[in-house]
Amino acid sequence: MKILGIETSCDETAAAVVTDQGQILSDVVLTQIELHQPFGGIVPEVAARAHLEFVDRVVNDAMVQADLSFGDLDGVAVTGGPGLIGGVIVGVMTAKAIAMAHNLPFIAVNHLEGHALTARLTNNVAFPYLLLLVSGGHTQLLAVRGVGEYTRLGTTIDDAVGEAFDKSAKILGLGYPGGPMIETRAKLGDPKRFALPRPLRGKPGCNFSFSGLKAAVKRQVDALPPGKLADQDVNDMAASFQAAVCDVIRERTRNAIAQFKILCPDGKTLVIAGGVAANGALRHCLDQVAIGEGLELAAPPLQLCTDNGAMIAWAGIEHLQLGHINDLNFKPRPRWPLDPGAPKVGGAGIKA
Ligand code: KG4
Ligand code: ZN
């Protein structure tokens, strides 16, 4: 089975062809980073226009690299939400057109589910597993029991962790996107120089909070002697910030593992997913957590942690194998929680 996956929900225009045997026949990602850089963050209108301009070319490149024509496909999967709605509409219209013209099954995939199932494509992970999803719009801990069977154990009550990376990077004058820049500068810095808070540490449960951490970065940067931030100040703050994030995630993940072991006693794996899972320090720290708790850590390769079409194609395959397809009346969904029954917490699930 060969499926085309299309992803346009954020600032990457991406398409890939994946087989049900887990082969990635092509994986094309066109990033819009340069377009958004002057604004210090993603501008939804700019993103939607760029997706519209480039999606046909990206899809075509993915088909050429896979050496296939549309008629060779067994289906078309696309991110149907959650995300920036202008971009999602572009992807969904493109996928519907291909499905209609070539009489192919159409599968609307939840972007978060794309991240959530990636480790099954890359690491062949069996259900059930505990998932830490850390991206620009989400920070969640979920028990994944099967396709479409998600129990949310924790989420952020304010900012997502990727958002905290991006905003802290902006305060430090590091530009957009902040995560990779903070990681690079943190390697050169002293993580003990600035005392930053560890929000919610010691509290029961597995929810997260990051807005206080970002505010503390701002306060401490503002308190430095006036003038341009010295390189060492930036390095030290980046290191201190990253250490605080790792401490918080370590502790909340341990709490989640305790709940997961009760919920899914046969679960053996901790999976990380989403753009922030590309962070080496965080991967190392979670590896230690997993070893300490008797679980295996599964972390997809870096390029499949950030947004891509392969994860959407794979989620499409998992759905198609279960006979799940959508009709062409599917409406793009700006919000689409993985666990609709989870209790509402402040701010959670609002962003892409
Ligand atoms: O999953 P993703 O590509 O897009 C969303 O669905 O949000 O995640 C993007 C987020 C951004 O906030 C970016 O700064 C962060 O992932 N990120 C990182 C790293 N690479 C990307 N954060 C920390 N360290 C990294 N190496
Ligand atoms: Zn994402």
Ligand 1: does its nearest atom lie under 6 Å from the Cβ of 260? no
Same domain, 83 and 199: no
Q: What is the pLDDT of residues 104-140, one digit of tens each?
A: 999 999 999 999 999 999 999 999 999 999 999 999 9
Q: Residue 345: its pLDDT value, please? A: 84
My answer on whether 98 and 156 are in the same domain is: no
Q: Is 336 inside a domain boundary? A: no
Q: Which of 167, 186, 174, 170 is nearest to 241 (CA)?
A: 186
Q: Residues 146, 289: one domain?
A: yes
Asked if the model's pLDDT at residue 351 lies above 60, the reply is no
Q: Which domain holds residue 313?
A: 2-117+303-321
How many structural domains does the chain have?
2
Q: Where are the alpha helices (DSSP H) in the chain?
A: 33-36, 44-66, 85-102, 111-122, 161-171, 178-186, 211-222, 231-263, 280-292, 310-321
- Return the best residue to mutate from 11, 135, 187, 351 for the ligand 1 pocket (most ligand atoms within 8 A of CB): 135
Q: Are residues 48 and 147 in the same domain?
A: no
Q: Which residues pair with 3 in a beta bridge?
A: 18, 75
- On the question of pLDDT at 177 being above 60, the answer is yes
Q: Is residue 63 part of a domain?
A: yes
Is residue 274 within 8 A of residue 305, CB to CB? The reply is yes
Percent of the chain with pLDDT over 90: 90
Which amino acid is residue 221, in one-letter code?
A: V
Query: Are residues 108 and 26 located together in one domain of the fold?
Result: yes
Residues 6+ apart with CB under 8 A from 282: 134, 242, 245, 246, 249, 272, 276
Residues 302-344: pLDDT tens digits? 999 999 999 999 999 999 999 999 999 999 999 999 999 998 8
- 112 and 260 both lie in a single domain: no
CB neighbourhood size of 333 (10 A): 18
Residue 206 near residue 255, CB atoms below 8 Å: yes
Q: Are residues 8 and 104 in the same domain?
A: yes
Residue recorded with tokens 């989420």: 155
Rounded mean pLDDT, 92-105: 98
| Ligand 1, atom nearest to 162 Cα | 12
| Assigned domain for 51 exists | yes
What pTM does this model have?
A: 0.93
Query: Could you tell me if the CB of 275 is within 6 A of ligand 1?
Result: yes
CATH of the domain at 63: 3.30.420.40
Tell me, yes or no, whether 330 lies in a domain.
Answer: no
Same domain flag for 314 and 295: no
Name the average pLDDT for the chain. 95
The answer to whether position 279 is within a domain reads yes
